[in-house]
Structure 1
Amino acid sequence: MLIKLRNICLMATFTLPFTICTAQDKPSKPILIFQSGFEGSTKVVADSGTDDHGALYEHIAGIDSGLKQKRNWDKDWVGVLNDGYMGVQYTGGDASKRYAKVEVDPTNPKNNALHFWLNDAWPASEGQIKARVQTNIYGIKTGYKEFYQSVRVFLTEDFNALKTYPHRIPWCTISEFWNNEWWVKGEEHGFRVTLGVGKPTAESNELNFILNAENAGQKEVWNADNVAIKVPIGKWFTMDYYFKEGNKENGRFWMRITPDGGEPQNVFDVHNFTHATNDLSPNGLTSYNPMKLYTSKDVVGFIKAQNKTLQIYWDDFRLWSDKRP
């Protein structure tokens, strides 16, 4: 079942300075940008720099020896990103509150995965107390007009505790797309699409996927709900999504999940702005967080009070250009 899209504000359609392919156009052969199953020498390592709250930056390094191409974290990002690697960021805190590590799959001792562990909140950006673990693909040299990502995801059983959270959950981000980054000084066309896990009402006892888009200043342009499809917990599932830069007529965000051993389920297919509504010359998406766990102090505090932690495992990450649903 597909979501029903609610337009929050009606915007004029702008003429873009480049050609957007229509659904009838035949796409080029998909180009694999990178892939990893987090095997071989893959690991998370600390950088020498710190963020504005004193926390060390980290990045993913090593080679997945089980794959044949586009598998080297140290070399294959160099031609794609200005910094040449996929970063790991926390915006504060320490290892007693959060971490990202390559560890053994909790369901298969012969498999490794990237493990996000989040146990507490801390003073962070925007003067807020919140909690964050995220990977950064920042500084994409040639902004993506469209791209396709696939990743396997495992939310541990502790996520079930959120079903009894006594309020609506509008914010537990698992991926975020910046087109463009609104924190950059002088940027006039900040825009983001946020994908998360949410709870639609205080009375609900299920978790669903949530999606919205905002202009700079967190001014919502559109949002989407799909309460029909529940978030799998304690079971691996593959999450595929497709991003296409465009306006209200030709922008698109599509997402599908496939539980292991189950059938594919289309979660979102939104046709709307995927760049700032006032941007007449969009230049492609240059930054996004492909794997993320980011939420409020209240949500993480509720979990901690029950002696549980928010944990996500990620595996089989793949990123393509020129690939479509």
Structure 2
Amino acid sequence: MRGLTLALLVCCGCNTLDAASQDIGVDAGPVIASGFEPNTALLDRSGSLVLSGTDLQSGFDWAQDLEAATGAQRVTIQFQGGTDQQRRAWLTDDPVQRGNRTICFELREPNVGGQKGRVQANLYDTFGFSRFSQRIRLYLGDGFSELRDANVTFDWLTLFELWNNPNWTDDPWPFRISVNLIRQDPDRHELVLGAHGQTYTDGRWENVWEVIATDQPIAVETWTALELEFVEGNASTGRFVVRRIEPAAATLLDVTNWTHHPDDANPDGLTHLNPFKLYTSAELINGLHDLGTSLSVCWDDWQFEAVPR
């Protein structure tokens, strides 16, 4: 962690966001702040991992402070099957800055029925947020250089996902917002972000909206700091924004549209989200495996602030 400020300690009334965040109303609420420093740990719990301990720099406690701030009892790292040889999540040194700790995800082989690969952080069963903002840094490993330069296109490599509501519960109005790293044109050696809002009907996801940051490539093998913001609302009041903080500050995605299912007359806030994840097809994972490399992402300096509904 490069240095979370003292203002980012967990609280229920503090305001830690900048003016850009306040413009869409995400200006108060509980905070998660962790750089995954000692004494943060990953504990094995029946095939998943659980973030545990107290971050020594921010003071954030992964049990007591998390539940008080969000209503969730834990942040788990989910794999959906597989072995450590296929996928993993671990706390390790920064690939660039020695002495700094990060959490890293890696996919070496498809771990979900041979069809796809998944490593994701789950923040589930929260109070239900009408608004939230998060900042996080990510480092795309050398496998992403291969994806950037190969003669290939893809639009499914998910880094963040919001469920309002999940399709695996009995809720009648499933809706999700997914943020993917994509490659549109094999002649352009660039990876960019795209996002879509989707409803779920008869076993299929269908777009309500989709946006792509066509001319804003994401750097590989260097740290990028991103901010995500969400406001629950309809076609004119819903908002979803992704900004790059560094390097080269820019608004990458800015959506005013539905952020819950259009048929849900009584939305009850965002209760399930994957604040950071690595999820993609067997085709991409196997292609990199054949080249002797893998997909790996490191994450650091996670800051999360939300307004309960």
Structures share a fold, TM > 0.5? yes
The aligned residue for residue 309 of structure 1 is 294
Q: Is the 8 A contact 1:168 1:202 kept in 2?
A: yes
Whichever residue aligns with residue 44 of structure 2, its letter is A
How many Å separate the matches in 2 of 1:24 and 1:32? 15
Taking the TM superposition and a 5 Å limit, the aligned residue runs for 1:221-260 are: 221-259=208-246
The aligned residue for residue 50 of structure 2 is 59
Whichever residue aligns with residue 207 of structure 1, its letter is L
Question: C-alpha displacement at 1:303, in angstroms?
Answer: 1.1
2:117 aligned residue (131, 136, 152): 131
Q: Is the 8 A contact 1:167 1:203 kept in 2?
A: no
Whichever residue aligns with residue 172 of structure 2, its letter is E
1:102 aligned residue (91, 106, 119): 91
The aligned residue for residue 208 of structure 1 is 192
| Structure 1 unaligned regions, length at least 5 | 1-22, 50-55
The aligned residue for residue 41 of structure 1 is 39
Question: C-alpha displacement at 1:305, in angstroms?
Answer: 1.1
Q: CA RMSD in A?
A: 2.0
Question: C-alpha displacement at 1:80, in angstroms?
Answer: 4.6
Task: Indicate whether 1:269 and 2:264 are aligned.
Answer: no
Q: Is the 8 A contact 2:26 2:306 kept in 1?
A: no
Q: Is the 8 A contact 1:38 1:114 kept in 2?
A: yes
How many Å separate the matches in 2 of 1:77 and 1:221? 32
Identity over aligned pairs, percent: 27
| Structure 2 unaligned regions, length at least 5 | 1-20
Question: C-alpha displacement at 1:167, in angstroms?
Answer: 3.3
How many Å separate the matches in 2 of 1:158 and 1:249? 39
How many Å separate the matches in 1 of 2:291 and 2:22? 52
How many Å separate the matches in 2 of 1:63 and 1:155? 26
Whichever residue aligns with residue 73 of structure 1, its letter is W
2:165 aligned residue (161, 180, 184): 180
How many Å separate the matches in 2 of 1:161 and 1:210? 19
Question: What secondary structure, in the 3-state scheme, does the structure 2 residue paired with 1:138 have?
Answer: coil
| TM-score with structure 2 setting the length | 0.87
The aligned residue for residue 11 of structure 1 is none
How many Å separate the matches in 2 of 1:58 and 1:24? 34
Q: Is the 8 A contact 1:165 1:302 kept in 2?
A: no
| TM-score with structure 1 setting the length | 0.83
How many Å separate the matches in 2 of 1:234 and 1:165? 16
Whichever residue aligns with residue 99 of structure 2, its letter is K
How many Å separate the matches in 2 of 1:182 and 1:65? 37
> Compared with structure 1, are the counterparts of its residues 315 and 188 closer, same or farther at alpha carbon in structure 2 (3 Å cutoff)?
same
Aligned residues: 285
Whichever residue aligns with residue 39 of structure 1, its letter is E
> Compared with structure 1, are the counterparts of its residues 78 and 24 closer, same or farther at alpha carbon in structure 2 (3 Å cutoff)?
closer
Question: What secondary structure, in the 3-state scheme, does the structure 2 residue paired with 1:193 have?
Answer: strand
Q: Is the 8 A contact 1:43 1:101 kept in 2?
A: no
How many Å separate the matches in 2 of 1:26 and 1:129? 39
Task: Indicate whether 1:79 and 2:73 are aligned.
Answer: no
How many Å separate the matches in 2 of 1:26 and 1:183? 30
Taking the TM superposition and a 5 Å limit, the aligned residue runs for 1:15-30 are: 27=25, 29-30=27-28
How many Å separate the matches in 2 of 1:26 and 1:193? 18
Whichever residue aligns with residue 153 of structure 2, its letter is R
Q: Is the 8 A contact 2:129 2:307 kept in 1?
A: no
How many Å separate the matches in 2 of 1:298 and 1:41? 37
> Compared with structure 1, are the counterparts of its residues 24 and 239 closer, same or farther at alpha carbon in structure 2 (3 Å cutoff)?
closer
The aligned residue for residue 6 of structure 1 is none
Instruction: List, as ranges, runs of 4+ consecutive aligned residues in structure 1 with deviation greater than 4 Å.
Output: 23-29, 80-83
Residues 39-79 of structure 1, C-alpha deviations (whole Å, 9 max, x = no match): 121121111x3xxxxxx0211111111124xx111221223
Question: What secondary structure, in the 3-state scheme, does the structure 1 residue paired with 2:39 have?
Answer: coil
Question: C-alpha displacement at 1:25, in angstroms?
Answer: 8.2
How many Å separate the matches in 2 of 1:26 and 1:83? 25
